């Protein structure tokens, strides 16, 4: 993309990271939280009803959740690698640790992977792992939100690469250390559950604390009001879902109750919300990068690459249909002198004004006006008679002249353009090069006639340019 294009990409990425949430995004987050609340209220109605012990379904649900958390961690780690911002590193660590703890939670869940009678150790391992999992995530998310600032970032590619490699390793190591300590001391673990039912101490004392911790990130994000970023909004929604899941566990009071099952469903939704937001963000980035690669940053017209691609499509269409093609090459008169006299900022403003006028003259779906390079523009119009092409070119010349931008080095004393027109009545193989050659020769002729004129050249059927292009020159009205 070149130096200027690289700055554009960097600005695009920075804008995505640092923009504030729009009212529409806030409304979507509110709608999502409302749906989760309705689901939770429905579950609360039948929370203590004992449901079927669908262990295979629970394995599938927890596997989906672990995969979603792992993929989210990977995408967050990629963003951290790009910009080194602490918030993405902390969140990547949180989701990687979450994915590991979910795997261990599933492995020690009573009765999922063995048929022998349940042991208290398995139940306690499961409950302690769930407590650790549900507590570590909101604490880390809260820490990430507090570091949600462009100023909080690592500087230097070496340090960022080292941190990127360390984050998943550290998450895996801590999860393994927790699993090892829990298994070695399984008989010493506190008894939060017995025979599949949570004890009152857990429901009355520990679980409310979990609910409060889970709600903290949501409270902190909402306290910021106008300074909420899209990522902060998504994290608030995920935190809210975690809070609802903890409430559902409390309401259900037992494994495989309706409350327990609804809580796990909400947890899957909570684990997916950030992943979906990241994927949507990537989708938006690709769309904007695609537009950036085909759009001239200064004038907002299609650039030369987009013009060449469009020309190939339209020319092949004309070959199949036997249609006509018209091409106009446009050059801003003595633009180098304009830049030298008035400065490059004024030159940029001039090109934008000229581009706006030219773009207004091509409105059909297959018409295209592009910045072809420097102060040169190109216009392609299929299925347009030669006489109409000349009329359109003259209209473009007159519209630029009416801007009346001061330019002392031109004959008219204002900014003007010279235009070369070429036309083929029936496209044939080889005409693409001839069309450009005819328009270029006509443009050169327009400049030799004193500029601010339209000159038309016609491509002959035998792929040759007429020796003397027909001149259609209109002097400046001023």
Residue 193's DSSP bridge partners are 198
Looking at the domain covering 304-472, what would its CATH class be?
alpha beta
Across 53-68, b (16+ Cβ under 10 Å) vs e yields eeeeebeebbeebbeb
Give the model's pLDDT for residue 348.
Answer: 93
pLDDT band at 467 (very low <50, low <70, confident <90, very high): very low
In order of 25, 329, 358, 381, the CA distances from 369 in angstroms are: 35, 10, 7, 9
pLDDT, one tens digit per residue, over 14-45 is: 444 557 777 888 888 888 888 888 888 877 77
The pLDDT score that the predictor gives to residue 326 is 92
Is residue 337 a contact partner of residue 44, using CB atoms and an 8 Å limit?
Answer: no
Spatial distance between the Cα atoms of 39 and 263, rounded to a whole number of angstroms: 9
Alpha helices in 84-206 (DSSP H): 86-108, 120-146, 157-184, 200-201
Coil vs helix vs strand at 454: strand
Cα–Cα distance between 237 and 216 in angstroms, integer? 12
The Cα 386–Cα 425 span in angstroms is 8
Residue 461 has a pLDDT of: 57
Burial class (CB in 10 A: 0-12, 13-18, 19+), 159: exposed
On the question of pLDDT at 478 being above 60, the answer is no
- What tens digit of pLDDT does each residue of 229-280 get? 788 888 888 888 888 877 776 665 566 677 777 777 887 877 777 788 778 7
Tokens read off for 444: 């050169």
Are 273 and 179 spatial neighbours (Cβ–Cβ below 8 Å)?
no
CB-based contact 202:128 (threshold 8 Å): no
**What is the mean predicted confidence (pLDDT) over 153-168?**
90
pLDDT for 441 beyond 50? yes
Q: What is the rounded distance in angstroms from the CA atom of residue 149 to the CA atom of residue 147?
A: 6
Q: Which residue has the higher pLDDT, 27 or 92?
A: 92
Mean pLDDT for the chain overall: 81
- The end-to-end CA distance of the chain, in Å, is 41
What's residue 432's pLDDT?
83
Reply yes or no on whether the pLDDT at 391 is more than 70: yes
Q: Looking at residue 314, what is its pLDDT? A: 92
Q: Is the dihedral of CA 22, 24, 28, 33 positive or negative?
A: positive
Q: Where are the domains of the chain?
A: 2-294, 304-472
**Comparing C-alpha atoms, which of 235, 299, 315 is closest to residue 271?**
235
Confirm if 428 and 319 have CB atoms less than 8 A apart: yes
The secondary structure of 245-258 as a DSSP string is HHHHHHHH-BTTBH
Report the pLDDT averaged over residues 153-172.
Answer: 91
Cα distance between residue 384 and residue 148, in whole Å: 55
Measured CA to CA in angstroms, residue 416 lies from 330, 337, 350, 357, 425 at distances of 10, 13, 11, 12, 29
What is the per-residue pLDDT across 193-237, written as a single tens digit (0 to 9) for each? 766 676 766 666 777 787 888 888 888 887 876 567 788 888 888
User: Distance between CA 351 and CA 142 in Å, rounded?
Assistant: 48
User: Which pair of tokens denotes residue 127?
Assistant: 């409950």
Strand 417-424, strand 454-458: pairing? parallel
Mean pLDDT value across residues 327-346: 92
φ, ψ for residue 260, nearest 5 deg: -65, -45
Q: Identify the pLDDT of residue 251.
A: 62
């Amino acid at each position: 993309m070149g130096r200027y294009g690289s700055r554009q990409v960097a600005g695009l990425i920075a804008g995505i990271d640092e923009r504030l949430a729009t009212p529409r995004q806030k409304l979507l987050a509110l709608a999502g939280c409302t749906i989760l609340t309705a689901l939770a209220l429905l579950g609360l109605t039948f929370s203590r009803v004992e449901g079927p012990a669908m262990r295979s379904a629970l394995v599938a649900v927890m596997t989906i959740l672990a995969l979603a958390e792992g993929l989210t961690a990977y995408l967050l780690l990629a963003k951290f690698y790009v910009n080194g911002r602490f918030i993405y590193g902390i969140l990547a660590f949180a989701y990687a640790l979450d994915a590991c703890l979910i795997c261990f939670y599933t492995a020690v869940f009573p009765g999922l992977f063995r048929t022998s009678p349940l042991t208290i150790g398995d139940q306690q391992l499961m409950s302690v792992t769930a407590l650790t999992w549900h507590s570590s995530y909101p604490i880390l998310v809260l820490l990430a939100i507090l570091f949600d600032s462009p100023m909080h970032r690592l500087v230097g590619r070496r340090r960022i690469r080292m941190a990127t490699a360390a984050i998943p390793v550290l998450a895996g190591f801590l999860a393994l250390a927790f699993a090892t300590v829990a298994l070695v001391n399984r008989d010493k673990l506190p008894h939060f559950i017995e025979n599949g039912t949570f004890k009152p101490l857990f429901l009355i004392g520990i679980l409310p604390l979990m609910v409060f911790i889970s709600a903290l990130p949501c409270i902190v994000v909402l306290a910021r009001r106008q300074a909420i970023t899209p990522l902060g909004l998504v994290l608030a929604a995920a935190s809210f879902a975690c809070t609802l899941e903890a409430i559902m566990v409390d309401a259900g009071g037992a494994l495989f109750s309706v409350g327990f099952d609804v809580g796990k469903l909400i947890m899957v939704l909570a684990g997916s919300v950030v992943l979906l937001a990241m994927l949507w963000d990537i989708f938006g980035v690709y769309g904007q990068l695609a537009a950036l690669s085909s759009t001239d940053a200064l004038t907002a017209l299609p650039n030369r690459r987009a013009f060449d691609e469009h020309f190939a499509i339209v020319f092949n269409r004309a070959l199949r249909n036997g249609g006509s093609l018209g091409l106009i090459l446009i050059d801003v008169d003595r633009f180098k002198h304009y830049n030298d006299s008035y400065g490059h900022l004024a030159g940029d403003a001039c090109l934008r004004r000229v581009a706006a006028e030219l773009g207004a003259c091509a409105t059909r779906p297959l018409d295209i006006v592009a910045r072809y390079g420097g102060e040169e523009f190109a216009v392609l119009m299929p299925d347009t008679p030669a006489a109409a092409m000349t009329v359109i070119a003259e209209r473009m010349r007159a519209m630029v002249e009416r801007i009346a931008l001061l330019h002392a080095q031109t004959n008219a004393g204002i900014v003007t353009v010279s235009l070369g027109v070429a036309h083929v009545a029936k496209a044939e193989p080889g005409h693409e090069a001839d069309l450009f050659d005819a328009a270029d020769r006509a443009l050169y002729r327009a400049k030799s006639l004193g500029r601010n004129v339209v000159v038309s050249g016609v491509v002959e059927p035998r792929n040759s340019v007429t020796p003397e292009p027909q001149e259609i020159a209109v002097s400046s009205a001023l």
